[in-house]
Amino acid sequence: MVFALNVDNAIALNKLFQERGVKSDFVISNVKDAITGVTSNFTKENKEKIEKFRQGKLEVLINVNILTEGTDVPNVQSVFLTRPTISTILMTQMIGRGLRGPKAGGTKEAFIVSFVDDWQDKIAWINPEKLFIEENVDFNDQDKETKKSLLRLVSISKIEEFAVLTNSIIDPETKSELEKLDFIQRIPKGIYQFRYLVKSEGEEIEKNCEILVYDNIENSYKNFVETLPYFVKDNKLEERESLDEKELILYSKQIEDEFFSGVEKYPAYSINDIKSLLQYYIVQDEVPQYIELKDRENYDIDRIAHELYEKGLGGKLKTDFLSGIWNDNEIEWQTFFNFDQRIFLNEINIAESRLSFPELYQRNKQLPTEEHEIREFERMSLYEIRNVNPAYEKWLRDQVFEKFKDEEGFYYSAESGYKSKSRLIFQVDHIIPMHNGGLTKLDNLQLLTRGENMVKGIK
């Protein structure tokens, strides 16, 4: 169990645990809206998370001002004290969560880890109330509650990123890849936000889902969602009330292979999001609403860094310039940087470094551009290409599907003309087989239904 300082601290710690493959989550006490004064109650969500911790489904539970007393979680063996206190009572309560002993349902040994250093001078975690965004942010025709929810999620994603970008030890690969991305690519284009009831050990519980959609996965989700009705029909799932975990793993892997294989991993992608969206469709028989994050171009850090670079501003001129931008657009920036100007300045520094030293921030080349590379891939099967360069295999396959797509959005078989909007019915096939000298290039690739392709293979 981890005792965190506040909500921002808990979000960041949770992200860093999960980056290392640790099953973690956080619980928080009631939080008051900074503008309206209305208190949001997280009791139901907290109870569900605490129960998962009791059952061993979570390895780490991070909490803010909630589990010092009055809640029975006897299976705690280690307590991390990541918040300062001068209260003897509070310290005793926090340590006591691990000192239950076998007779009280606890463990024989307990580990108490206290963090006392100068971290607070480096990251001054801000007031958690600031997670609730001001009412006068205008995101076009979306209702106020939707706006607030969306902006809060974006703000959380920025806190998580900041935790990774400012941590030089945990997951250096993620840190490096995030820094290579243009800032605009790390702002979500939109979000699927939905909830549904699922059965867990005989009881129905409500599952809340938020899927932030970035540039790297936008088209994949678009194609996936368009295919969903046909996918459900083809697999005879129309009458199902829900899918069990084995089915979710099986079907989500099929969907991942078809639509998400070869996509960029960063800034975000998770097969669990595919499972959640698929389950929602089975339960609700509809695609969840997609909420677009409008005007995201207004928050392009790279544009500001480019202006600094071109004008050659430094010293006090640079300080005054950036302070002016922050102060003049505080409502907009607080959306993405949670009222924390240091996160804003950190992003400016990264963007400036990309401009000044582009060779240090080059991303791995995804699609082949040199003639000898292309010729080499032409002699490989699609399966072999996927193992070497999954991004190119996905691009090539997408090109074939676009080639065999009519004006109404139906894909069709080159052999029978059979039409469907479900990509999963079709397979990419060589017109001239490879064993007869055929190459894996666009003018030698076609779409066949899976059945047609099987018959052709037998022949």
Q: Which two three-digit tokens encode residue 88?
A: 């003897």
List the one residue out of 74, 69, 168, 84 whose CA is nearest residue 121. 84
Residue whose pair of structure tokens reads 């490879």 in the numeric block: 434
Alpha-carbon span 41 to 59, nearest angstrom: 24
The answer to whether the CB of 185 falls within 8 A of the CB of 215 is yes
* pLDDT tens digit sequence for 292-337: 877 777 778 888 899 898 888 888 999 998 888 888 766 566 666 7
Beta carbons of 349 and 162 less than 8 angstroms apart: no
Give the DSSP H or E segment for 253. helix 245-255
pLDDT per residue as tens digits for the range 256-291 = 988 998 888 888 888 999 999 999 999 888 998 888
Tens of pLDDT along the chain (459 residues) come to 888 877 878 888 888 888 888 999 988 875 543 333 434 455 677 888 888 888 888 899 988 876 544 455 657 778 887 765 545 555 566 666 656 666 655 667 778 887 765 444 433 333 333 333 333 334 344 555 555 566 666 667 767 776 767 666 666 777 788 888 888 888 888 888 888 877 666 666 777 788 889 988 999 999 899 889 988 888 889 888 889 889 999 999 999 988 998 888 888 888 999 999 999 999 888 998 888 877 777 778 888 899 898 888 888 999 998 888 888 766 566 666 767 788 888 888 888 988 888 888 887 667 787 888 889 999 999 989 988 888 899 899 999 999 999 999 899 999 999 998 888 889 999 999 998 999 999 999 999 998 898 888 777
Measured in whole angstroms, the distance separating CA 442 from the mean position of its chain's CA atoms is 33
